[in-house]
Amino acid sequence: MYLLSQDEERLILYVGKLTMVVMNRYPYNNGHLLVAPHRHVPGLDDLTREETQDLMANVRRSIGALKAVMAPEGFNVGLNLGQVAGAGMEDHLHFHIVPRWNGDTNLMTVVGDVRVIPEHIRETYEKLRTHFD
C-alpha cells in the first residue's frame, strides 16, 4: 500500500501508520482539517479497532493543534456518511474539524455566497505543521 508522506503541495500535515491529517483545500473556515483512515471504507463499522483508535487520537491531536495555533472559541467536528449526507467520495469516510469564532460568518457569506478566509492557506499550513512533526 502506498503511504503518502508529509506534502506541502497537497496540504498534508501528518501521515501515520493508519490515518492522516490534511487541510481542506476548500475550507468552510480558516484551519478546516480532515482526518481520514488510509483505507477507503464507507462507514465507521468498517474500520478496525486500531483504525478507530488512531482516527480518534488524530482528531484529538488536530483539535489540540488548532487550539494552540489559532485559539478558536469552538469547533464543528463531524462526518458525512453516504452520498445523500454530502460525502464527496461515498466509500471514504473522513472527519471534518472546523474551528469556529464568534461572528465568523459575515455579510459576504450571506449576500455574496462566498467565504472570506482571513489568512492564506499556506500560512496556516506552516503554523500547524510544527504541531504534527
Active-site residue list: 94
CB 47 within 8 A of CB 36: no
CA triple 99-107-33, angle to 5 deg: 20
Helices 49-70 and 121-129: crossing angle, nearest 10°?
110
* Per-residue exposure over 35-65, b if at least 16 CB sit within 10 Å of its own CB, e if not: bbbbeebeeeeebeeebeebbeebbebbbeb
